[in-house]
Amino acid sequence: MSADNNKDKQPGTVTMRGRLALRIFGMHSKSEHLAVYLATDDGDYLIRPAAGNPFMENPLMPMAGKMITATGTIVDYVFLVTSWKEVNDAV
């Protein structure tokens, strides 16, 4: 994970880099479903668009396995992203 402290961003906004992974969320509960996580060097975060409906399919799901850089806010274990882009693995 890398945090970018750009002064143009809103307070609490971070930029992180990691690989998107599909995993089961809420195993053995009524909330169990396949979810998208951002796996970083500093930990894994459930990731979804900040403006998206949490009960609809995550638009990041087709990018599973790819490296991305994303900007947003972290609320508990969820990274609510406002923007993201695919990056090269070698970067």
Tell me the fold of 13-86: OB fold (Dihydrolipoamide Acetyltransferase, E2P) (2.40.50)
Q: Is pLDDT above 50 for 7?
A: no
pLDDT cut 90: percent of the chain above it? 66
**Which of 1-5, 6-10, 16-20, 51-55 tops mean pLDDT?**
16-20
What CA–CA distance (Å, rounded) separates 70 from 38? 9
- Reported as a single tens digit per residue, the pLDDT across 39-83 is 999 899 999 999 988 888 899 999 999 999 999 999 988 999 999
Question: Which sequence spans correspond to the domains of the chain?
Answer: 13-86
The dihedral built from the CA positions of residue 15, 66, 48 and 44, taken in this order, carries a sign that is: negative
Burial class (CB in 10 A: 0-12, 13-18, 19+), 52: middle
